[in-house]
């Protein structure tokens, strides 16, 4: 395994500035460095209407899962030209974007086409009740877009260490803000990279979803954690981390505060988990030393994933931070990252066909041990 260089444990030196877009949605600027005087004063002058409203969530009685119905997202921006990117800074006032300022480091704003939104409308008066299960509910919540750089062609793995530290701060701040909303059950921070996995905007960015219900994967994890605690008295995710550290076979990187390992039952052709050594529920609970190391470790993992397949410059990936529920069962959750790619070989994707999509029965075409060997082999 590879050790991580020590990171300075100093506090983040940047600052946060909050403004409002033309339709009332909030936008926050996260600057790498604090500077004197006012910043980000540019106003959003677009003729926008009111902020978007939430759709609804419907209960699937066959699985016990809530499904979000967001028909308004069908018309969201899809693969615009570089000249029309809505995440670029507004350099030309005649062509305004979602970010009014002409310069920024990291910008976070409420999605214009959200899956979940704080503005809700009730069901139609003549809407028939569902035949089984609970009634439909508004898809209350929050959806943030986190823009990692003003550079349209940048990649997260290649950003400066200072910028990555700012991104970690933005993740933590939005997690804290949304977790304080009593209507939010869990906050999920994630990044999709690569058109192969459905990215509709190529500008480097991620998202933050604040769900009104605990999502299915988290619900399964909480239930398994509850059973583990009843049987052993331990924390499932902490005990899994300790077991991987003890065995060492699948550990690919270890620092003072974080360890990265390939899970024993990895589902994807490239998959690695990253977990803090300390029991923390979410990104907001990380201290300065942990946030500083996380910035280094995260980029190192992205670089290794990009080098995983010979001859491939940028590997498409999904990176998601699983965090503890905000209310009931919070003590059963524990922060961890799942980073994976569906690229199984150069030019070949793993498609979720009959077994995975239809039956939910996963089949991996490689072994976790081979994945770990390769991730160690391509270390920086």
* H helices present in 233-352, as ranges: 236-247, 288-306
Contact 156, 299 (CB under 8 A): yes
Alpha-carbon distance of 79 to 76, in angstroms, equals 10
List residues with catalytic annotation: 205
- Write the secondary structure of the chain as one string of H (helix), E (strand) and C (coil): CEECCCCCCCCCCCEEEEEECCCCCEEEEEECCCCCCCCCCCCCCCCCCCCCCCCEEEEECCCCEEEEECHHHHHCCCCCCHHHCCCCECCCCCCCCCECCCCCCEEEEECCCCCCECCCCCCCCCCCCCCCCCCCEECECEEEEEECCCCCCCCHHHCCHHHHHHHHHHHHHHHHHHHCCCCCCEEEEEEEECHHHCCCCCCCEEEEEEECCCCHHHHHHHHHHHHHHHHHCCCHHHHHHHHHHHHCCCEEEECCCEEEECCCCCCCCEEEEEEECCCCCCHHHCCHHHHHHHHHHHHHHHHHHHCCCCCCCCCCEEEEEECCCCCCCHHHCCCEEEEEECEEECCEECCCCHHHHHHCCCCCCCCHHHHHHHHHHCCC
Which residues, 6 or more positions from 283, have their beta carbon under 8 angstroms from its beta carbon?
168, 171, 172, 175, 189, 321, 323, 335
**CA dihedral of 349, 199, 190, 83, whole degrees rounded to 10:** 140
């Amino acid at each position: 395994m590879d050790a991580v260089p020590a990171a300075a444990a100093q506090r983040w030196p940047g600052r946060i500035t909050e403004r409002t877009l033309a339709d009332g949605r909030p936008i926050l600027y996260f600057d790498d460095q604090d500077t004197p005087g006012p910043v980000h004063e540019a106003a959003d002058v677009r003729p926008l209407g009111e902020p978007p409203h939430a759709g609804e969530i419907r209960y699937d009685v066959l699985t016990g899962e809530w499904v979000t119905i967001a028909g308004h997202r069908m018309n969201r921006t899809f693969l615009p030209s570089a000249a029309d990117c809505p995440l670029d800074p507004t350099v030309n006032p005649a062509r305004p974007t979602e970010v009014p300022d002409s310069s920024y480091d990291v910008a976070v704003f409420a999605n214009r086409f959200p899956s979940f939104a704080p503005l809700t409308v009730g069901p139609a008066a003549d809407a028939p009740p569902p035949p089984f299960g609970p009634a439909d509910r508004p898809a209350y919540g929050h959806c943030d877009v986190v823009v990692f750089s003003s550079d349209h062609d940048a990649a997260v793995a290649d950003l400066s260490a200072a910028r990555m530290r700012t991104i970690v701060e933005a993740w933590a701040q939005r997690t804290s803000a949304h977790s304080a909303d009593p209507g939010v059950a869990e906050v999920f921070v994630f990044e999709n990279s690569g058109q192969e996995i459905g990215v509709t905007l190529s500008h480097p960015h991620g998202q933050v979803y604040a769900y009104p219900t605990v999502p299915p994967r988290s619900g399964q994890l909480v239930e398994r954690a509850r059973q583990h605690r009843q049987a052993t008295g331990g924390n499932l995710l902490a005990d899994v981390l300790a077991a991987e550290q003890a065995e060492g076979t699948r550990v690919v990187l270890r620092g003072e505060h974080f360890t990265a390992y390939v899970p024993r039952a990895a589902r994807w052709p490239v998959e690695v988990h990253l977990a803090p050594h300390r029991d923390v529920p979410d990104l907001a609970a990380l201290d300065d030393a942990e946030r500083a190391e996380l910035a280094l470790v995260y980029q190192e993992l992205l670089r290794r994933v990009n080098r995983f397949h010979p001859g491939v410059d940028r590997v498409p990936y999904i990176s998601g931070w699983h965090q503890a529920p905000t209310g009931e069962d919070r003590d059963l959750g524990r922060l961890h990252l799942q980073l994976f790619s569906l690229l199984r070989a150069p030019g070949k994707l793993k498609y979720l066909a009959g077994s995975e999509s239809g039956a939910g029965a996963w089949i991996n075409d490689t072994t976790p041990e081979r994945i770990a060997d390769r991730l160690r082999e391509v270390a920086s």
